[in-house]
Structure formats: C-alpha cells, structure tokens
Amino acid sequence: MSTPPGAPSSSWVRELVRGRKAAIPWDLAAITAVAVAVPVGISLAVMQGDPAILGLGVLTSMGALIASISDRGGPAVDRVRRIVVTAVFAAIGLTAGSLALGNDVATVAVVVLAALVSGIAGVISANASQAALQFLVYAIVGSGIDFGLRPLWLAPLVLLCGAAWRLALTGIAILVDRRPRVPERAAVASVYSAVAAQLDAAGSAEADAARRDVTTALNQAFDLMVSARTTLAGRDPRWRSLVTLLNAATPVVEAVTAVVTEGERVPPTVPNALRAIARSIEDPSAPPPVLPPPDRTTPGRAALASSLRLVGSLLSGDDPVTTTVAIQRPDTIGLPRVSPRDRLRTALDHLTSGSETWFAVLRLVVCVAVAEAISVLLPLERPYWITLTVAVVMKPDFGSVFARAVQRGVGTVVGVLIGAAVVVFVPLGWPQVLALALLAGGMPVAIRRNYGLFSIFITPVIVILLELAHGDDTGLIVSRVTDTLIGSAIVILFGYLPWPSTWRSARHLGGRVAEVAADVGWYLGVALAPRGADDSAARKPDARDRSAARRATYRRLSDLRTLVQQTLAEPPPISTAAASWWPEIVALERVTDAITSTAIRAAQTRTVADPDAVAGLGAALADLSSAIREGRAPGMLALSEDPLLEPVSDEIGAARAVLAS
C-alpha cells in the first residue's frame, strides 16, 4: 500500500518529538503558578527553622499540584468534579503509603496493591483513570517521604487543603469571567469554524486534514456538552440553545461534505458566513451573521443553503421545529446522562470482555513490583523515585508505553537537571519560589503539546517540592537522573519487550481497521438503504438516524487514526506495520464521505436508492472487512453501476484496490 499525501511521518523518532498545535491556556497557566508557589512561599517566609511548617507548605503546594494536573479546563461542573475526585484519591493513596513508611515489606505490599487497584480503576472512565494514577503516585510518595507531620492523618488533610485552595482559585476565575458557558460556546463555535476551514481547503493538499479537523471539533464539542450536562444545565435555556446549535451543525457538516465531493469551490461568502456564525455563538454580543443568497444549483449546495438558513433562524430566536431541515432537539438527541449503574456496567464489560485489559494491569503491577524490589535491594538515596517513574510511564491507558518511557526518560532527565539546578544554585526563599511559579505555569501549556515537554516542566516542580521537604543535597542531580533511567529501563525491559501484545500490535491494528470497515458498511445501510419490508413500503432513510450513524462512524475513524498515530512512535517493525495501514484508513474515510454526499443528493432529489445495489455495496464492504481480518486480497465482486451510487461504488473499489496493492 502506497502512502498518500498528508499521511503522518513513518519515522518513529520524529513521532516521539512531534508536538501538537494548541492554544496557550493563559488562565490555567496563571492559576497553576499561583496555586503551587504561594503555599510553599508562605511556609518559607514563616518557618523560622521549623521543618514541620515547611512540610505543611510543601504538602499544600502538592495538593494544589494535584488539582492543577487534573484541571484541563472545560465546563465548570466538570472541572470541579475532576479536581475533587482526583484529590480524594490522592489523599487516600498518601494515607496508605504513610502507614507503610519505614517498613520495607509493608511498603512493597502497599505499593504493589495500589498499582493493582489503580490499573483496574483506570478502565472506568478518563476521570477515574487520572484519579487512579494520583492514588498510586501518592501511595509511593507517602511510603518514601516523612513530611514530619503528626498524627498521620494530618498529611492527607493538608494535601486536601491544597487542592481546595486550587479549587477556590478556579472558582474565582470562573466568577470573574462573567460570560456564561464560555467553554461550551467556544466548543460549539469551533465546529462552525472548522467547517469554514474545510470549505477553504477544498481541492487543496490540506483538504483531508481539514476534514479530520471537523471530525475532531465535533467529537470534542459533543464530549464537552455531555460532560457539562447536569439537571440544572438541562433547564438552562442558554445550554439548551447551544445543544441545538451543535445539533444543527450536523446537517451543515453533511452538506459541506457533499459540496466538497461535487468538486466546485463555493464563493468566499459561504465560509465567511460560517465564521460569522462561529463568532455569534462564541460572543452573543457580536453582530448577527449575514447569510449568502441561497444557491441550489447542485444537491450539495441546496442542502448547505437549507442548513445555513436553519442555523440563522436559531441564532435569531426562531423555533427550529418550524424549519425544513431535520435536526435533533436537546431533549431527543440524547446528550445522554450516564447513570452510575451504566458506568459500572461499562467497567465490568471492559474487565470481562477479554484479556487485553488484564494484561495491561498485569504489566503495571509487574513493573511496580520490580521497581520496589530494586528500591529495597539497592542502596539508593531516594528509591521511591524509581517507582514513581514506572507508575507514570506504565499507567496502562495513556497510550504507547514505549513512547512514554522514552519521552518520560528524556524529559525527566532534562527536568531533573533544571530542578536540581534550582535547588542547588538558586538561593532558598523567594528566588526558588519564583522559579517554582514559572515552571508550574508552564505545565498547562506543555501538556497540550507533548508528554516529554510536560515532563520537562512537571519534573523540576516535583523535585523542588520534595527536596524542600527532604532537605537539599548536592548529590541530587546524579541520583535523580540515575533513578529516572533505572525506572525507564524497567518499563522497557519488563513492561514492553517481553509481552506478546507488544509484537502483536500490528495484527491488533489490522483487526481495528477491519472493525471500522464493517462500521462503514453499517453506515451505508443506515444512510442509503430504503426503510421498509418491500418496495411498496420502502421510504427514504431517516435523516436523524443517518446523522447519528455518520457521527459514530467518523468517531471510530478518528479513534483509529489516533491509535495509528500512537503506534507510529514505536520502533520498527511495529511503526512500519502501522504506517502501512494509513492508506486504507484514508480510503475508508473517502468511502464514508461518498456515502454522506450520496445520501444528501438522494434526499435533495427525492430519490430512493435501489435496495439490491445498496446490498451489493454492503456485501463488498463486508468482504473488505473479512479480507483485512484474514490477511487476504478482497474477493472478485461486481459493484453497482447505479448512477446514484456510482461515487460510493468508485470509492469502495478504490479501498479494495488499496488493500490488494
């Protein structure tokens, strides 16, 4: 399979250092800098030689650090939930570790058990995974450092106070910004901006990337609105209006897909109108968008004109029920409210559906156990740092283990050098506090770009805090670098190389491609197959069903691209095998676009596709899925010659040819 234009680099070294484009979160950077630096700064000012006071300040700053790591922005309710859950888990971990402090056998038992609990808890949700990691990290910290606070419950309490301090700063920032629902508005507006960029890029080398940006914006907007949903939000007319505008973006996206497929660029007034819509959503005080005159010269343009008119009516306050374009309302779309029972059922499904989850948990436990054994057997000055490195790198649900080990190793070595230099050469007091604030403020910026870059910022923050609690040491640089390299080596030697799943990842990736090919076949049936038992009862597919199926299929394609991107950071032959699947993924994306465009054309021309022809194309996609799974060439199947379905037939033929090449 040849590599199409726009494919990611197959150089695994380049993928390791590749940074993501992201806006700088100035608000999070400022809050994090203040939250982490102020408590320890106050304790340094008033300690008067009392290490217990310094320990209070360090632990308070560490609590603020926990909350800062878990606060990635977004809706207020989601930010509060993440901070509270993560802080509570970290406090429990610190308590468990403190109980084992000074007893080697108890320390090993507690930390290994914490690794097991952390690995299992990570399958529940993304928030639970982050909280589980902090639970493990602070179990390790508690078992390795005596903060000088008695009784033992005082240290976890101070940690929670630090998190509460950071949460209070977050609340103040939210109250100061008087614009209602800013993150939700920005997320919905970004969808319309991305669609405008897709129209601008039509026919250029950036077209595929622009289409993927639309999918990413839609996924992020829906995820954010789901996370923001509460009983109170559901009654808020502003929230419901944003959900309706997000739903209204779906027919716009589908129409733009059809327009791009038709091949002729639209006038600049159309993408400009979409950008004006985005501005009106993000800032209600902005001038209302001026829509271009309706252009119905092609089915795609007719659909786009109707969908833009719908969005315009929503922004002007009209009821979308009176429009001609079918959309899903907030009470019917189902921004679903997931119950605790549903979450528990999903977690149990993950744990019982196969061996992959358990192997990931087992790898984490094995590596933590090896790190603890080395910590006990070798005369290391700060042995807990080895296990900390292993825990952060090996957390099983955070992507490529190899990439994180290398990025963590390199990033931590650089970060240790920075942190140790601050501890050794910067005078104790406000100069160190200022350095701590600058490094902490860089964390929210770095985490959005590259994990190695994030390690460069967070590592010196941790080094400075822990060394303040433990006392400075001129041998710090060598010991920290050595511990980090030992931890990274443990991950590679015990958590990566020996496991069959490492070397079967290319086969696993092929299975995922086969699943997505089957999903595209399902979308074909939903979007184009007539609904009815026979020809006399057949009717057009429902637009809402089609839109929901399209979103689900594009999300699966997006997830597959992410998986390939992560695997490209592995060394050959794994990265080489991953890169070989990229052309097939691109071909499946084009099949999906052709299905969407054909469905729009059928709806605009009031045409019903031939059921036998649709079934034949579905059979071709099913055969493609089977061929990918079985490692064979696709079978010789005759594809439809129906003029309506010709674009879909051509793209399916191209996808089958890519696999055979």
CA dihedral 566, 568, 571, 576 (to 10 degrees): 140
Average pLDDT, integer, range 379-387: 80
268-317 residue pLDDT tens: 999 999 999 999 998 888 888 888 888 888 988 999 998 999 898 888 86
**Together in a domain, 162 and 188:** no
Confidence bin at 136 (pLDDT 50/70/90): very high
Q: How far apart are CA 80 and CA 387, in angstroms?
A: 29
- Please tell me whether residues 396 and 457 are part of one structural domain: yes
Q: Is residue 7 a part of any domain in this protein? A: no
Instruction: Kindly state whether residue 332 falls inside one of the protein's structural domains.
Output: no
pLDDT tens digit string along 558-573?
888 877 777 766 666 6
Whether 558 and 625 share a structural domain: yes
pLDDT in tens, 527-538: 887 654 444 444
Q: What pLDDT is attached to residue 551?
A: 84
More confident residue, 420 or 487: 487
Residues in the chain: 661
| Same-domain status, 600 and 570 | yes
What pLDDT does 537 receive? 42
Q: How do residues 73-119 score in pLDDT, each as one tens digit? A: 777 777 888 899 999 999 999 999 999 888 889 999 999 999 998 88
User: Are 481 and 514 contained in the same domain?
Assistant: no
pLDDT 10s digits, 173-183: 877 765 556 77
Residue 562 included in any domain: yes
> Which of 481, 500, 519 corresponds to the end of one domain?
500
Residues 639 and 652 in one domain: yes
Higher pLDDT, 52 or 543: 52
**494 lies in the same domain as 511:** no
pLDDT value, residue 169: 92
Q: Is residue 333 part of a domain?
A: no
Given a cut of 70, whether residue 500 has pLDDT beyond it is no
Based on the fold, state whether residues 522 and 619 are members of the same structural domain. Answer: yes
Per-residue model confidence (pLDDT) at position 226: 74
Judge whether 30 lies within some domain.
Answer: yes
- Tell me the residue type at 169: L
pLDDT digits (tens, 9 = 90+) for 571-618: 666 667 777 788 888 899 999 999 999 988 888 888 888 888 888 899
- Pair 157, 214 in one domain: no
pLDDT at residue 659 in the model: 84
- pLDDT tier for residue 329 given thresholds of 50, 70 and 90: very low
The SS3 of residue 394 is helix
Asked whether the predicted pLDDT for residue 348 surpasses 70, the reply is: no
| 457 in a structural domain | yes
Please indicate, yes or no, if residue 463 is contained in any of the structural domains: yes
More confident residue, 466 or 99: 99
In this prediction, residues 364-385 reach a mean pLDDT of 86
- Specify whether 381 is located in the same domain as 495: yes
State whether 168 and 21 are in the same domain. yes
Q: Average pLDDT, whole number, for the chain?
A: 80
Mean pLDDT of 339-365: 68
**How far is Cα 156 from Cα 167, in angstroms, rounded to an integer?**
16
Domain boundary at 451, 476, 500, which?
500
Final residue of a domain: which of 440, 474, 500? Answer: 500
Provide the domain limits for residue 582: 504-660
Q: Is residue 348 part of a domain?
A: no
Alpha helices in 378-475 (DSSP H): 384-394, 401-425, 430-447, 451-470
How many domains does one find in the chain?
3
Q: What integer is the mean pLDDT of 45-50?
A: 73
Mean pLDDT in residue range 376-389: 82
Which positions ≥6 away from 583 have C-beta within 8 Å? Answer: 1, 2, 3, 4, 7, 658
Do residues 443 and 511 share a domain? no
